Amino acid sequence: MRNEATQVRGHTLAWYERLATLQDGYYYPWASTVADGDGESAYTGLVQQHLSPEVDVLETGCGHGVDAIAFAPLCRSLRAYDQVDRYIALAKKAAAERNLENVTFLSRTSSADRNGGKVTVPALTGSIDVVISRRGPTNWIEDVPRFCRPGAVLIQLNPLGSLVEDVWNGELPEGLRRSPSDAEPDAGMRSRIESRLSKVGLSLHSCWTYDVPEWLHTPRDLYRLLSFGNTPEEVPSWPQTEAALTEVFQRHAAPAGLELRNRRFLWKAVLPP
């Protein structure tokens, strides 16, 4: 078992590839209720406002294609890419089952280290009107001037981390506890995005920070969240931690469940006409 310091967290290709062997697609495997006014719903609404039968859309880091499949009927064409082959295979299958003909799924990475040292998005030069990304990578911004049309709109939702402030984090069993570095400070994310945009001569058109409660339903859901993406060798097992997690619930849960914060950063940028 790995200890707290070495437990594998998200964002690396290896982590995503391993997650793809643990569950079918990218999704959160715990049950919870998120309060109204959250960032995920706001992102969906904002994207929908910018879709029409006249626009060609690119989705970066599309996972197993849930958004691409939902949004494709609302636009002219939608290209979606992800670095994990298994996700793209699932996405292609789902699109075929729905007879969606205007969506293309590509198993590609936009990372510079896998594209000869240059961030490269799998889209033709001057071919895209709207770029969307729900919790996907941010490196694609570097290639925007090449593949976007004048006036293109960029929309992304970035996670900000959730657990570190929670009073019960210190009561979790060793190996499941979160460290302060797991939470993204709001200002850190905003300045990272602004810095990437400014390198290509762009700035934020609008941005919003969302911070709403999310209630986990059961101790098992808390375990699913804390062990997300880790193999049984890397974290303590459910039987080993059930008693401690049940006690955390008994001490801290409200009738709605155990509360954590659901925090997101949503932003939009617009290219000059």
Ligand X SMILES: C[S@@+](CC[C@H](N)C(=O)[O-])C[C@H]1O[C@@H](n2cnc3c(N)ncnc32)[C@H](O)[C@@H]1O
Tell me which of 7, 104, 109, 230 binds ligand X, using CB under 6 A: 109
CB of 35 to ligand X, least distance (A): 19
Tell me which of 50, 79, 86, 134 binds ligand X, using CB under 6 A: 134
Query: By CB under 6 A, what part of segment 138-197 binds ligand X?
Result: 139
Cβ neighbours for 161, distance < 8 A, ≥ 6 positions apart:
182, 183, 184, 263
Residue 32 as a binder of ligand X (CB under 6 A): the answer is no
CB of 245 to ligand X, least distance (A): 24
Residue 16 as a binder of ligand X (CB under 6 A): the answer is yes
Side by side, which strands form the sheet with 56-60? Answer: 32-34, 206-216, 258-270, 148-159, 128-134, 56-60, 77-82, 103-107
Residue 215 as a binder of ligand X (CB under 6 A): the answer is no
Contact indicator for 244, 173 with CB cutoff of 8 Å: yes
Beta strands in 87-240 (DSSP E): 103-107, 128-134, 148-159, 206-216
Name the one range near ligand X by CB under 6 A: 129-137, 148-156, 160-168, 261-269: 129-137
Tell me which of 7, 78, 103, 137 binds ligand X, using CB under 6 A: 137
Tell me which of 7, 32, 104, 110 binds ligand X, using CB under 6 A: 110
Name the one range near ligand X by CB under 6 A: 46-54, 82-90, 237-245, 255-263: 82-90
CB of 264 to ligand X, least distance (A): 11
Beta strands in the chain (DSSP E): 32-34, 56-60, 77-82, 103-107, 128-134, 148-159, 206-216, 258-270
Q: Is the Cβ of residue 16 or residue 249 nearer to ligand X in the bound state?
A: 16
Q: Is the Cβ of residue 44 or residue 240 nearer to ligand X in the bound state?
A: 44
DSSP 8-state symbol, 99: T
CB of 239 to ligand X, least distance (A): 29
Residue 267 as a binder of ligand X (CB under 6 A): the answer is no
Q: Is the Cβ of residue 81 or residue 168 nearer to ligand X in the bound state?
A: 81
Residue 84 as a binder of ligand X (CB under 6 A): the answer is yes
In terms of phi and psi (left: phi > 0; alpha: psi -120 to 50; beta: otherwise), the region of 42 is: alpha
Specify burial of residue 201 (Cβ count, 10 A radius: 0-12, 13-18, 19+).
exposed
Give the whole-angstrom CA distance, residue 94 versus residue 72.
12
Contact indicator for 154, 144 with CB cutoff of 8 Å: yes
DSSP 8-state symbol, 20: H
Q: Is the Cβ of residue 90 or residue 253 nearer to ligand X in the bound state?
A: 90
Contact indicator for 87, 65 with CB cutoff of 8 Å: yes
Q: Using CB under 6 A, list all residues that contact ligand X.
A: 16, 26, 61-63, 66, 81-84, 87, 109-111, 134-137, 139
